[in-house]
Chains A and B, each alone.
Chain A
Amino acid sequence: KAGVTQTPRYLIKTRGQQVTLSCSPISGHRSVSWYQQTPGQGLQFLFEYFSETQRNKGNFPGRFSGRQFSNSRSEMNVSTLELGDSALYLCASRWGTVGNYGYTFGSGTRLTVV
């Protein structure tokens, strides 16, 4: 069974540009969450999607957005990139949104903003 797949693995962008990251959840998983991981702030919640609807959003500026498609694949977009957006962006999936249990994470997309 394939795990959570994130593409691309690495990205280098220039300040002011925008970027789109992609996530394919485990087959059958309908809930997708995104996290930002940095050495200083650790893992911070960006948003969660279930059935193409954003169910929860973390404390990030509006430059960070996302969406989920009917096949549960998800994308996140960051516009007007800043140096501080350099981070590992992690996507995680699980079967549903009801009930409290763990997510399966992908290996992440390493974004470097120069």
Chain B
Amino acid sequence: QQQVKQSPQSLIVQKGGISIINCAYENTAFDYFPWYQQFPGKGPALLIAIRPDVSEKKEGRFTISFNKSAKQFSLHIMDSQPGDSATYFCAASTENTGNQFYFGTGTSLTVIP
């Protein structure tokens, strides 16, 4: 059972555009929602994370929007750049699951110049 569902599977955006990746979860006990960025040949790197007590968190060009009632959260990349081309994973966890992270299936983002 996929605890975190991520869409779209792939995304192509023009340079300067906005990239939006969506995730949905079922387990209401989840209380930590990170986004990871992975480049080919590298491990995932923590990009930004949010907890359910806030609806939005912004760090530079990256923003997480969180909708607790809908059990959804999304990553917005503003002014997308070719260097942002990577695979993005959302994840969710709770201390009750022994710090196990449940990852989405990933979104391959391509930013074309």
Contact = CB atoms under 8 A, between A and B. Distances in A.
Interface of A: 4, 31, 33, 35, 42-45, 48, 55-56, 58, 90, 92, 97-108
A58 B100 contact: yes
B42 A103 contact: no
B98 A48 contact: yes
B65 interface: no
Contact of B89 (A4, A43, A106, A107): A43
27 contacts: A31-B99, A33-B99, A33-B101, A35-B101, A35-B103, A42-B89, A42-B105, A43-B89, A44-B103, A45-B101, A48-B98, A55-B99, A56-B99, A58-B100, A97-B99, A99-B95, A100-B93, A100-B94, A101-B32, A102-B32, A102-B49, A103-B101, A104-B46, A105-B44, A106-B43, A107-B41, A108-B43
Given A43-B44, A108-B43, A102 B100 contact: no
User: Looking at chain B, what size class is its interface with the partner chain?
Assistant: 20 to 34
Of B43, B46, B101, B103, most buried by chain A (CB within 10 Å of CB) is B43
